[in-house]
């Protein structure tokens, strides 16, 4: 008869180190192990200055005699504490529940608060967590559900694995023993596939290459393809981009917005500083629609007059697109829609305040610092965080006039 064997094993849940939650277990003189009474929980770590190993298979807590030696609350007889500690999973598997009620000294979480907040609406993690943290957190949650501590069967409603940001592209050319370049399309595993001859690698600067369709080629030899590849950022490879440097040059809003503009959230993407420059220019163009760059006053083209139908259409199309894309976490296309709006607005003779105020609200999740500044310059005393999100009108999405070729 066929059966399913899940190969489940006991969970090795003890560590011989100081850092970790102490097990609430004591051992009596006759070897009996007992749980610490609930009224004496939690058992906390002793305050010590040295965390060195004990020199035995036991952890460093075993050397702290005034902590290890205790009494059995039931009998008053001598007892000793368990000196192993729990692994990091003891805290990381249920932190989302504690966030709901962090100051509760009586229980893990207040049932009313848990029922109000749970389950977690959106968990943004990484695929590397799928077989460790997420698996264990789900296991713990189901145990707590069976124990009537939580009200939901599942802890996380929606899970999104964000892609990683790779370093900037690195360019490599290949040449044979005679120094003749070999196009990258003919190279496989360091060998020219046409001749079987080994080739040497030559690292290139970005200025040495140019894009030609879907590939990169040598600028002075466009018939020679080069290898263009991005790698995971690492100190050893020397391709780490320091965000502090980007903020110093372009501002925090440009960095934030560029990371959302690079591509779909789940996609792995390569960093390109030139594209940060593009986002920086967009933010400057948006700023100049409202603020005169020289005087710092409101721009002369900004008007209190009512917008025309085409201006309203541009705004309401943008509201619809940005709102829907945010809901779908398609931040890159939401930003693209705002860029199209700014391109259109820069062609207007006048820029109505009634159009720009809702646009600033749309911009705020992506560029919060600049948006708050613009909101204040538009005469608002209260933060835009308290303003209602703009809503589009279906009737204003349609063009009244369509030009036929």
Please check whether residue 12 lies inside any domain of the structure.
Answer: no
Contact 384, 360 (CB under 8 A): yes
246 found inside a domain: no
Does a structural domain hold residue 323? yes
pLDDT digit string (tens) for the chain, length 405 residues: 899 888 888 888 999 999 999 999 999 999 899 999 998 989 999 998 877 777 888 888 998 999 999 999 999 999 999 999 999 888 889 999 999 999 998 899 999 999 999 999 999 887 777 778 888 899 999 999 999 999 999 999 999 988 989 998 889 999 888 889 999 999 998 888 898 889 889 888 888 999 989 899 998 899 999 998 898 998 888 889 999 999 999 999 999 999 999 999 999 999 998 899 999 999 999 999 999 988 999 999 999 999 999 999 999 999 999 999 999 999 999 999 999 999 999 999 999 999 999 999 999 999 999 999 999 999 999 999 999 999 999 988 887 766 777
Q: Are 380 and 307 members of one domain? A: yes
Domain match, 299 and 369 both: yes
Judgement on whether residues 153 and 223 belong to the same structural domain of the protein: no
Residues 190 and 293 in one domain: no
Q: Which residue has the tokens 């992506």?
A: 366
SS3 string, 216-229, reads EEECCCCCCEEEEE
Identify whether residues 220 and 175 lie together within a single domain: yes
Please check whether residue 101 lies inside any domain of the structure: yes
Angle in degrees, 0-180, between the axes of helices 353-363 and 368-377, rounded to the nearest 10: 150
Q: Could you give the number of structural domains in the chain?
A: 4
Phi, psi dihedral angles at 169 (to 5 degrees): -60, 140
Residue 269 lies in a domain: no
- The residue from 81, 105, 121 where one domain ends is 81
Residue 16 within a domain: no
Backbone angles phi, psi at 393, to 5 degrees: -110, 125
Do 366 and 295 belong together in one domain?
A: yes
Question: Which pLDDT score, from 0 to 100, does residue 401 have?
Answer: 67
270 inside domain = no
> Is residue 37 domain-shared with residue 93, that is, in the same domain?
no
**Interatomic CA distance for residues 119 and 116, integer angstroms:** 9
Domain span at 32: 25-81
Tell whether 263 is covered by a domain: no
Supply 185's token pair.
Answer: 């399309």
* 190 within 8 A of 183, measured Cβ to Cβ: no
Domain boundary among 81, 109, 128: 81
Neighbours of 134 (CB within 10 A): 20
Show which of 33, 51, 81 is a domain's final residue. Answer: 81
User: What's the CA gap between 174 and 204, in Å, rounded?
Assistant: 10
């Amino acid at each position: 008869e066929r059966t399913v064997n899940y190969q489940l094993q006991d969970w090795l849940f003890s560590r011989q180190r100081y850092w970790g939650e102490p097990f609430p277990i004591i051992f009596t003189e006759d070897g009996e192990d007992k749980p610490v009474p609930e009224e004496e929980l939690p058992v906390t770590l002793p305050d010590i200055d040295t965390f060195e190993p004990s020199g035995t298979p036991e952890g460093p807590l075993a050397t702290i005699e005034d902590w290890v030696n205790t009494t059995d609350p039931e009998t008053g007889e001598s007892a000793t504490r368990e000196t192993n500690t729990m692994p990091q999973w003891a805290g990381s598997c249920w932190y989302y529940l504690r966030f709901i009620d962090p100051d509760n000294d009586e229980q893990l979480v207040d049932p009313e608060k848990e029922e109000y907040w749970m389950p977690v609406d959106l968990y943004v993690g990484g695929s590397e967590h799928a077989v460790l943290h997420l698996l264990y957190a789900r296991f713990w949650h189901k145990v707590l559900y069976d124990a009537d501590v939580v009200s939901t069967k599942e802890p996380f409603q929606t899970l999104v694995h964000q892609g990683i940001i790779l370093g900037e592209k690195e360019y490599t050319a290949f040449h044979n023993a005679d120094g003749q370049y070999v196009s990258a399309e003919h190279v496989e595993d360091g060998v020219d596939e046409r001749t079987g001859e080994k080739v040497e690698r030559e690292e290139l600067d970005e200025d040495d290459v140019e894009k030609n369709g879907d590939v990169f080629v040598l600028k002075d030899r466009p018939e020679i393809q080069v290898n263009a590849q991005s790698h995971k950022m690492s100190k050893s490879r020397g391709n780490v981009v320091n965000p502090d440097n980007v903020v110093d040059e372009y501002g925090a809003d440009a960095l934030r917005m560029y990371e959302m503009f690079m591509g779909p959230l789940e996609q792995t993407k390569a960093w390109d500083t030139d594209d940060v420059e593009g986002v920086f220019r967009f933010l400057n163009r948006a700023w100049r629609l409202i603020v005169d760059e020289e005087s710092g006053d409101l721009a002369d083209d900004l008007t209190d007059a009512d917008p025309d139908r085409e201006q309203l259409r541009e705004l309401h199309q943008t509201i619809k697109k940005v709102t829907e894309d945010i809901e779908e976490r398609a931040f890159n296309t939401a930003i693209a829609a705002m860029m199209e709006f700014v391109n259109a607005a820069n062609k207007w003779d006048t820029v109505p305040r009634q159009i720009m105020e809702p646009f600033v609200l749309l911009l705020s999740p992506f560029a919060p610092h600049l948006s708050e500044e613009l909101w204040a310059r538009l005469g608002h005393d209260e933060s835009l965080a308290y303003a209602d999100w703009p809503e589009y009108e279906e009737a204003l999405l349609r063009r009244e006039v369509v030009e036929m070729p």
